[in-house]
């Protein structure tokens, strides 16, 4: 197996694994921040909007950190 296939596979696996907890954490923190900012419970439409925003941010964060982690790990192996 070539190094590039191993690198890409490892990055994708780790990114997918990290996506779900990162997505949930970002969503919960953003809804709580919005509730604290407004001083009342957030509507369902605002929660959905925050959830879409959290998904986008989670994809970027997951891929970025999985790339850094995997690259540094495999750099030492080869």
Q: With a cut of 90, say whether residue 34 has pLDDT above it.
A: yes
- Identify the pLDDT of residue 24: 97
Per-residue CA distances from 45 to 50, 69, 74 (Å): 9, 36, 43
Give me the mean pLDDT over the 11-19 stretch: 95
Q: With a cut of 80, say whether residue 78 has pLDDT above it.
A: no
Query: What average pLDDT does the structure give for the chain?
Result: 92
Q: Could you tell me which residues come within 8 angstroms of residue 35 by beta carbon, excluding any fewer than 6 positions away?
A: 41, 42
8's tokens: 């890409």
DSSP 2: -
């Amino acid at each position: 197996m070539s190094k590039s296939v191993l690198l890409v596979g490892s990055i994708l696996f780790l990114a997918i694994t990290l996506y779900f907890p990162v997505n949930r954490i970002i969503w919960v923190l953003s809804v709580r921040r919005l509730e604290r900012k407004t001083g009342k419970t957030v509507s369902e439409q605002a929660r959905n909007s925050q959830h879409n925003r959290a998904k986008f941010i989670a994809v970027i964060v997951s891929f970025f950190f999985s790339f850094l982690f995997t690259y540094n790990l495999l750099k030492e192996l080869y």
